[in-house]
Amino acid sequence: MKKDKEKKNQEKTVKLEKAMIKTKKDKKPSKFIEIIKKRWLVDGTKTLFLVLAIIAAFLGINVLMQNLELTPLDFTQEKLYTLTDESKEKVKNIDKDVNIYFIGYTDEDSNLDLAKQYKKVNEKIVAEAVDINNRPDLASKYGIESGTQGIIVECGEKSKVLTANDLVTYDMTTYEKISIAEEKLTSSILSVTSPKIPKVYFLEGYSEYSLSQNMRLLSIYLGNEVTEMDTLNVISTGKIPDDCDTLIITTPNKDFDDIATNAITEYINSGKNILWLNSAITQEKELPNVNKILELYGVKPFEVGIIRETDVSHMMTGSQDLIIPEVQYSSVTKDITNSIGVVLINATKINIDTDKLEELKVEKNDLLLASEGSYFRTNFNIQSTNPVEGEDKGTFLVGAELHKTVKDANEETGESKLESKLIIYGENYFVTDYPISQTSQAGAIQLAYNKDLALNSIAYLVDREEDITARKSTGTVTYTATQEQDIIVRAIIFAVPGLIILVGIVIWIIRRRKK
């Protein structure tokens, strides 16, 4: 019996040993891991080589990712680091080679990253960082010295040079830096590839509104467009320059003299266009020559008074003088009709002599209308917030587009119809640098889409409808990821590290139990 018991114990021992051997075979480690342990980690030199190989692989992946020039993830509300659809649409059909040289910039610069995205839309547009010491040809041609920064947009013999300061502007109220890099780059690309650059002139000498002073922001925004601009003193020139595609007239506070009246009349009769901005009149003035020009389009003299609003949905910050007119659909306003709209302060109504339009060969399109809840106040001593007896109430015309046929088409001679266009607004303040109120955080032109209304009007008048758009707002950067992006970001930040920690804890517990 004792021998049988010992025999059974021996058999159990043999079976147990066999089971342990089998288990070890089943848990045979990876050959790759064994090689790393036995051949690399036991030798300090080989370990160093392994670490260096890992670092080299990491750097190689980074270089590869840079060469791929992947579009960066942009979670800002204004999409400041990615091209807008408007820019993509404008450059996609360019058939000329365009080089954008970033002199003195590194490959990590955000503006260079933005410029490189044009190539994804159109392979003919290439942006690169350049060491001016390696390109003496560029240094000589553009006068760029070593150690300085500059951006050269070049197409054949045409070029445009930008500085770092050209890519930003400032809110003079908040002193906030505002990026206008995309607008500048896109307009520069279009300007060097366009066969003709339109030119606008601002008439000076008859208004308190000056392009160089209280309309500086408009000057900056207009400079971002494919448009040249200049001021005009018609007394010294005696005429409107031949290269003027659009003349901009701001609220006259004194009458045109005969030289200006004749020059503007001749300009209209040659089929050229005008943008007219007119603030409300607070006191009666005799402006017969000004009214003579307006009459050519069927516009009656402006009356003393301002439009006030009673509908809270059509006023800004509860102020009756800050009206939000109803934007009518047109070529000028098509991209801003669905926005918050336009904000006007102390606007005046535009009176059209509709009975004379046919005689004058003028067609009218409404652009902006005050709401039905508005009224026209002529007596500024009245304190009532509601219209009083005798005050006009209802919808008023605040913006209009007028087409005047100067010469009819002639089938016999093959001459096409010649017409002059006038876009007129009963407001001037909305395109100035002045804040709307003492507590306002931005100039009027930066509110809502005021700048778009002005710039779209000019683009339409200079016959560049491709420049009509709702432009990117470039104020503060705001994180606005979509729900899907938010989930991904949160997963990367929280879930992935948490999962790694959890797996580590589970493995540690399992190993401890085995011991």
Average pLDDT over residues 65-81: 52
Higher pLDDT, 293 or 507: 293
> What's the confidence (pLDDT) of residue 492?
57
- Of 246, 254, 297, give the one whose Cα is nearest residue 454: 246
Least confident window among 30-44, 52-66, 135-149: 30-44
Higher pLDDT, 403 or 50: 403
- Eight-state DSSP code of residue 226: S
| pLDDT, tens only, 289-335 | 999 999 999 999 999 999 999 999 898 878 899 899 999 989 898 87
Band (pLDDT 50/70/90 cuts) for residue 240 is very high
Within 10 angstroms of residue 375's Cβ, the number of other Cβ atoms is 20
Residues 6 or more apart in contact with residue 484 via CB below 8 angstroms? none
| pLDDT, tens only, 137-172 | 888 888 777 778 889 999 988 888 888 887 877 654
| pLDDT, tens only, 180-237 | 888 889 988 988 898 888 999 999 999 998 887 788 778 877 876 778 889 999 999 9
Band (pLDDT 50/70/90 cuts) for residue 479 is very low
Instruction: Put residue 29 in one of left, alpha, beta given phi > 0 → left and psi -120 to 50 → alpha.
Output: beta
pLDDT over 60 at 23, yes or no: no
Residues 6 or more apart in contact with residue 234 via CB below 8 angstroms? 203, 205, 240, 259, 260, 263, 264
pLDDT over 80 at 1, yes or no: no
Please provide the average confidence, as pLDDT, over all residues in the chain.
Answer: 80
Within 10 angstroms of residue 97's Cβ, the number of other Cβ atoms is 13
Q: Specify the amino acid at residue 302.
A: F
> What's the confidence (pLDDT) of residue 429?
85
Band (pLDDT 50/70/90 cuts) for residue 39 is low
Angle at alpha carbon of residue 396, lines to 217 and 304, rounded to 5°: 75
Average pLDDT over residues 480-492: 55
| pLDDT, tens only, 428-443 | 988 887 765 544 444 4
Higher pLDDT, 341 or 66: 341
| Contact status, residue 102 vs residue 111, Cβ threshold 8 Å | yes
pLDDT over 60 at 28, yes or no: no
What percentage of the chain reaches a pLDDT higher than 90? 40
Maximal C-alpha separation, the chain: 140
Least confident window among 30-34, 238-242, 275-279, 352-356: 30-34
> What's the confidence (pLDDT) of residue 286?
92
pLDDT over 50 at 95, yes or no: yes
| pLDDT, tens only, 328-384 | 989 898 877 655 568 888 999 999 999 999 999 999 999 999 999 999 999 999 999
Q: Specify the amino acid at residue 58.
A: F
pLDDT over 60 at 287, yes or no: yes
| pLDDT, tens only, 408-432 | 988 887 788 999 999 999 999 888 8
Average pLDDT over residues 475-497: 53
Within 10 angstroms of residue 57's Cβ, the number of other Cβ atoms is 10
Residues 6 or more apart in contact with residue 457 via CB below 8 angstroms? 275, 332, 423
Length of the chain: 515
> What's the confidence (pLDDT) of residue 446?
46
What percentage of the chain reaches a pLDDT higher than 70? 71
> What's the confidence (pLDDT) of residue 359?
96
Strands (E), 408-458: 418-425
Cα–Cα distance between 267 and 234 in angstroms, integer?
12
Cα–Cα distance between 433 and 250 in angstroms, integer?
14
pLDDT over 60 at 486, yes or no: no
